[in-house]
Amino acid sequence: MTYSPFDVTRRLARSVALATVVAAAVGCAANPSREDIGTVTGAVVGGVAGSALTGGSTWGTVGGAVGGGYIGKQVGKELERR
């Protein structure tokens, strides 16, 4: 399946907008831990990367967000222990 540059850009913009809303919602917590911040940051970066690497695929975006969130959580945990 071939995507036009417009389709890829539109899907990427939609993914970034959704990730921004999620990050803003989590950021409204009184004192987010480093683990929380790492999870959200990882999910946003992973979702954008997954979307870009798969041409805007929904599964690629979701998979990237899940993987990025997991990695971000582990990094945040490590930063909290220090």
pLDDT digits (tens, 9 = 90+) for 58-78: 888 889 999 999 999 999 999
Whole-angstrom distance, CA of residue 43 vs CA of residue 56: 16
Residue position matching structure tokens 């990730």: 19
Residue 9 vs residue 57, higher pLDDT: 57
Mean local confidence (pLDDT), 38-52: 88
Is residue 47's pLDDT more than 60? yes
The letter for the amino acid at 69 is: G
Whole-angstrom distance, CA of residue 52 vs CA of residue 9: 9
The pTM is what?
Answer: 0.67
Can you give the residue ranges of every domain in the chain?
5-81
